[in-house]
Amino acid sequence: MRELSELVEVERPGWPVVIEHLERARVPVRALPGDPDRGRTCLHRLQITARSFLGAMALESGGLLVDDGWLRVYGGGGPELPGLGEVNDLSAAVVHGPPVRLIVGHDVLGGIFALNGPGCEDDRYPGRPGEMVYFAPDSLAWEPLEAAYSSWLPWMLEEHNLENFYADLRWPGWRESVAGLTPDQGLAASPSLWTKEAARNPAAVSRRPVPFGELVALHREFRTGMGGADPGPFGTL
């Protein structure tokens, strides 16, 4: 493993560039305070430098709440969101190597954003190593996004990108629904978003707040119960 100093003391660190993107964001975004010790531990276990956007988020940020909390992006950890280290159990990565996928964010519907690791080299893992993928609550499947983390992070801050990405899943008044959630909660839909009933009549879908871990556990249960392959790690949420 590389020493922490090699990862932190770099030319052209990524955090000032991330800050520029946050300041130019065309959607509401709140940068959460991080814990310096947790951030440094997280960066060391990731074994990436602070020059990258992912390394900068791990070292300097407690995470992001994007579009009034619709999307939560993990950093090194802080009072409001767990860190990449906790979500992905990076303590195990020190012994066993990097996770197959690194969970980097989630949305209120139980959708999960992840970065494919070097082990994603066969048909069991859609997308290429180093590519961002999304576990969609309306298909219960991982979908390649054809973007690296360094492209995905600025993309979600641009005007209309999230609006278009979630065009079929948002509803009138969604901001008010999300405003009442804590960062560890999501919205469970009934009927479930992957059902024909929900697709035919989105207005008839009701939603209730639940712990996010419970929400993604339901998605796993539905997928495997219908004979689908295990979707792999969702992280500790």
Q: What is the DSSP string of the chain?
A: ---HHHHHS-SS-SHHHHHHHHHT-SS-EEEPP--HHHHHHHHHHHT--TTSHHHHHHHH-S-EEETTTTEEE--S--SSS--HHHHTTHHHHHHH-S-SEEEEEEETTS-EEEEE-TT--STTS-S-TT-EEEEETTTTEEEE-S--HHHHHHHTTSTTHHHHHTTTT--TTHHHHHHT--TTEEEEEES-TTSHHHHH-GGG-EEEEEEHHHHHHHHHHHHHHTTPPP-------
Averaged pLDDT for residues 196-225:
93
Q: What is the pTM of this model?
A: 0.95
Say if residue 43's pLDDT is above 70.
Answer: yes
Between strands 64-66 and 71-73, the pairing is antiparallel
> pLDDT tier at 21 (50, 70, 90 boundaries)?
very high
In this predicted structure, what is the pLDDT of residue 96?
A: 61
Which pLDDT value is given to residue 24? Answer: 96
Separation of alpha carbons 55 and 77, rounded Å: 13
Q: Which residue has the higher pLDDT, 99 or 44?
A: 44
pLDDT tens digits, 23-42: 999 999 999 999 999 999 99
pLDDT in the model for residue 118? 84
Q: What is the pLDDT of residue 95?
A: 58
Q: Using N-to-C axis directions, what is the helix angle for 53-60 and 15-23, rounded to 10°? A: 90
Q: What is the mean pLDDT of the chain?
A: 94
The string of pLDDT tens digits covering residues 50-98 is 999 999 999 999 999 999 999 999 999 999 999 999 999 998 766 566 7
Q: How far apart are the first and last CA of the chain?
A: 27
Please tell me the distance from the alpha carbon of residue 227 to that of residue 75, in angstroms, as a whole number.
Answer: 34
pLDDT digit string, tens, across residues 125-140: 899 999 999 999 999 9
Looking at the chain, the whole-number percentage of residues with pLDDT higher than 70 is 98
